[in-house]
Amino acid sequence: MDHHVLHVRESERLQVLVNLLSAPGRTMVFTRTKHGAKKLTKQLIASGIPSVEMHGNLAQGARTRNLASFADGTAPTLVATDIAARGIHVDDVALVVHADPPIEHKAYLHRSGRTARAGSSGTVVTLMTDAQAADVRDLTRKAGIKPTTTRLGPDHPLLSELAPGERTLVTPPPVAPQAPQRSGGSSSRGRRGGSRGATSRGTSAGGAVAVSMRGSRRSR
């Protein structure tokens, strides 16, 4: 397992992530909060990275569907809180990214353990801003690792070494335009259910991935 700390500007954090995650292969990305996981998943999908989320606010059915999408490669990026740091075993996770460095070193080790399993090699990347530098140094010291630290931007060649392969972005499906409302004139009066279907329901911007993240009403 190779450990790297990428010293980035806060404004370039998402761009660095997109560069890493647009490479082929499965990647697990960890955030500290449920809100952060949900927000980052939406940002990645909008940036062309098929992603699903995993956190405590999801119903069990949604967790199962999202994990299946990650395992079968439909969504090669799983954005998760520490709920996925233990007990989730998916083969061939080549890269683990701490988008938010964890607070405790034990959480760092559990998260990182999602890669380099069963004799395979793996890479662990921690994104660090100026404000997080002291905390990350303390974290890695307590975890007993000596990572390679590099200050870089979204176009740095090291990113291609950490996540090799051709970069691919998927254009999210467009939102379907809504149909115009009927005027309600004499031609539509008296018809049974005349207003039914007058307005299009629309399509989610996240397409099939966004649909897979909804929990069923019954399971809430």
Tens-place pLDDT, residues 177-205: 666 655 554 444 443 344 434 333 333 33
* Phi/psi at 98 (5° precision): -90, 90
Number of domains comprising the chain: 1
- DSSP for residue 32: S
Instruction: Average the pLDDT over 52-81 and give the result.
Output: 94
- Whether residue 132 lies inside any domain: the answer is yes
- Whether residue 97 lies inside any domain: the answer is yes
- Whether residue 188 lies inside any domain: the answer is no
What CATH number does the domain containing 112 carry? 3.40.50.300
Q: Which of 91, 9, 63 is nearest to 220 (CA)?
A: 63
pLDDT for 120 equals 74
- Whether residue 123 lies inside any domain: the answer is yes
pLDDT, tens digit, for every residue of 151-168?
A: 999 999 999 999 999 999
Instruction: Average the pLDDT over 129-145 and give the result.
Output: 96
- Contact (Cβ atoms closer than 8 angstroms) between residue 23 and residue 97: no
Q: Residue 15 is part of which domain span? A: 2-171+208-212
- Whether residue 45 lies inside any domain: the answer is yes
Residue pointed to by tokens 């397992």: 1
Q: Which of 29, 216, 5, 218 is nearest to 125 (CA)?
A: 5
- Whether residue 86 lies inside any domain: the answer is yes
Average pLDDT of the chain is: 82
How many Å apart are CA 218 and CA 198, to the nearest integer? 29
pLDDT for 124 equals 95
* Phi/psi at 181 (5° precision): -70, 140
Please tell me whether residue 121 adopts helix, strand or coil conformation.
coil
- Whether residue 44 lies inside any domain: the answer is yes
Question: With bands split at pLDDT 50, 70 and 90, how would you rate the model's confidence at 170?
Answer: very high
pLDDT for 178 equals 65
- Whether residue 190 lies inside any domain: the answer is no
pLDDT for 94 equals 87
pLDDT for 146 equals 95
Q: Which of 14, 19, 6, 39 is nearest to 129 (CA)?
A: 6
- Contact (Cβ atoms closer than 8 angstroms) between residue 52 and residue 29: no
Question: With bands split at pLDDT 50, 70 and 90, how would you rate the model's confidence at 176?
Answer: low
Instruction: Average the pLDDT over 103-126 and give the result.
Output: 85
Instruction: Average the pLDDT over 45-51 and give the result.
Output: 97
Q: Which of 78, 94, 69, 96 is nearest to 165 (CA)?
A: 94
